[in-house]
Amino acid sequence: MSYGIGAMEGERNRILRETAQKSSVGASDYQQTVHQLLDKIQNGEADKNSSGAAFLNKITGEKKVDTSKLSEILAGGDSYTNKAALTKRLTDFQTIVEDMQKTAEGSLFLKSVATDASVYNYFDLSCKADGTTFTMDVKQLAMEQRNEGKKVVLSDACNLGIGRRYFDLTMDGKRASLVVKLTAEDTNESAMNKIVDAINRSDAKVTAELKKETDGTGYIAVSSNGTGAPIEGEEYVFYFSNLSDNDVVSYFGLNNIAQEGQDAVFNFNNSEEDSTYMFNSALVDGVVSVNFKAVTNGPVEVSFDYDYDGLCQKLRDYVSAYNSLKQAVIDSGYGAMKSYFGQLADTTTEMMDALSSLGISLDVEGTMYLNEGFFYKTDMSELKTTLNKAEKGYAAMISKTTDNMNNYMNRLTGKSRKYYGLRAKKSNAALRAIINQNK
């Protein structure tokens, strides 16, 4: 026999109450056992291969118990699996509905997608409002300075002697004093680790690390924590200066430059003069943020259109989630959830004139479909009106119903502690009365 979830809970409570009537066990022991049982069922921890007789034996003290219905009721049958599936489908659906509401206020409803996809080879683009048309010619990317030291055999003894070794790190004209203490046991590897630690502790806006090669050699790599050319009056973004007799800087080649720091150089809208900036970015007309990815081969024209592809994918996701939730509600056997989903379906039907112009339709069984050919012909203003976050927008209207559905499932799955606490108190009070009457 298969029980709907509501019927299973009622049947479970009936059996537990009947066993309590026959029991001489104390109410507190009974309460503890029932709570453990309910927790296992709600968390999906009950053994599906168990009849649940051990729980009843603990409650009743009887050696033989009729377990004909307990396998499903106490061990967690298909209906409880359906409850978990319903919870998952509802969570997925609610997430997509919330995303649709945010979409209505976000960049998908702006002219934010480059009409020529090839521009994405050179730029990352984002828009605060409808994107404007412009040309951009990137002639040089901003780079961080990167030094790669001299390769040494890691296991060899360090030949810098014993004691403290002093050296400076100058970054953007600001000097930091560094010191490492070397011992007779230090190898090149251990000495370099001490230098790396000293550099990283200096808070000089550079990052150092020991690079190890497969042949047993290694070197110290140091990079500035940002792009840009040296400041005026300095030849390099950063450099090291030795302050001891034994030259730590030269020994490990800390000033060996692998890449010089440089600014980005670009030309906007065929201007007579190029622009330079220490970062690989530009803000066009206060609307379009452009992040440079590669040097261009001359001016690149950038224009924008609406992201119909992005919107269409969100509608695909919504249609799929709607149909999955519909089936999960049917499988669950919960009358209340069927009623809530009926409200969802009614709202969808009421707005069908607007939704159908987007390519959304329902068949006679209430299954939802998306005709993408219709969608791509829809005017963007119509999309905004139908899907926006305003009170009469579709996403906003159905979100009220999904909130109610979610609150109901929280109570059923035990997430609402207040609800379950009150229900447990009432149930235990009734059980104590039954037990006391039969003593």
Q: What is the pLDDT of residues 314-357, one digit of tens each?
A: 889 989 999 999 998 888 878 888 999 999 999 999 888 888 88
pLDDT band at 147 (very low <50, low <70, confident <90, very high): very high
Claim to verify: residue 255 and residue 269 sit in the same structural domain = no
Dist. CA 370–CA 372, nearest whole Å: 6
Claim to verify: residue 254 and residue 271 sit in the same structural domain = no
Claim to verify: residue 279 and residue 241 sit in the same structural domain = no
Claim to verify: residue 314 and residue 379 sit in the same structural domain = yes
Domain that holds residue 182: 146-259
Dist. CA 52–CA 59, nearest whole Å: 11
Dist. CA 294–CA 163, nearest whole Å: 48
Claim to verify: residue 289 and residue 393 sit in the same structural domain = no
Q: How far is CA 108 from CA 206, 310, 339, in A?
A: 38, 7, 33
pLDDT band at 74 (very low <50, low <70, confident <90, very high): very low
pLDDT band at 89 (very low <50, low <70, confident <90, very high): confident
* Mean pLDDT, residues 108-127: 91
| Whether residue 33 has pLDDT greater than 50 | yes
- Residue 420 resides in a domain: no
Structure tokens at 182: 């070397």
What is the pLDDT at residue 239?
97
Place of tokens 């990052």: 207
Dist. CA 179–CA 335, nearest whole Å: 74
pLDDT band at 1 (very low <50, low <70, confident <90, very high): very low
pTM: 0.63
Instruction: Tell me the percentage of the chain whose pLDDT exceeds 90.
Output: 48
Claim to verify: residue 271 and residue 137 sit in the same structural domain = yes
* Mean pLDDT, residues 108-121: 90
Claim to verify: residue 197 and residue 328 sit in the same structural domain = no
User: Final residue of a domain: which of 228, 259, 290?
Assistant: 259
- Residue 423 resides in a domain: no
Torsion angles phi and psi, residue 255, rounded to 5 = -100, 10
Are residues 322 and 368 in contact, defined by beta-carbon separation less than 8 angstroms? yes
Structure tokens at 73: 């009721």
Are residues 46 and 87 in contact, defined by beta-carbon separation less than 8 angstroms? no
Q: Is the dihedral of CA 87, 92, 96, 102 positive or negative?
A: positive
- Residue 387 resides in a domain: yes
Identify the weakest region by mean pLDDT among 148-152, 203-207, 355-359.
Answer: 355-359
Claim to verify: residue 252 and residue 326 sit in the same structural domain = no
- Residue 419 resides in a domain: no
Stated as kind and residue range, the H or E segment containing 305 is strand 304-306
What is the pLDDT at residue 430?
46
- Residue 437 resides in a domain: no
Claim to verify: residue 49 and residue 126 sit in the same structural domain = no
pLDDT band at 32 (very low <50, low <70, confident <90, very high): low
What letter does residue 384 receive in the DSSP assignment? H
Dist. CA 113–CA 107, nearest whole Å: 9
pLDDT tens readout for residues 256-275 = 999 999 999 999 999 999 99
pLDDT band at 117 (very low <50, low <70, confident <90, very high): very high
| Whether residue 31 has pLDDT greater than 50 | no
Claim to verify: residue 184 and residue 251 sit in the same structural domain = yes
Dist. CA 220–CA 169, nearest whole Å: 14
123 HSE (CA, 13 A, CB side): 31
| Whether residue 99 has pLDDT greater than 80 | no
What is the pLDDT at residue 77?
43
User: Final residue of a domain: which of 243, 271, 302?
Assistant: 302
Torsion angles phi and psi, residue 311, rounded to 5 = -65, -40
6 HSE (CA, 13 A, CB side): 11
For the chain, how many structural domains are there in total? Answer: 4
Amino acid identity of residue 330, one-letter, is I
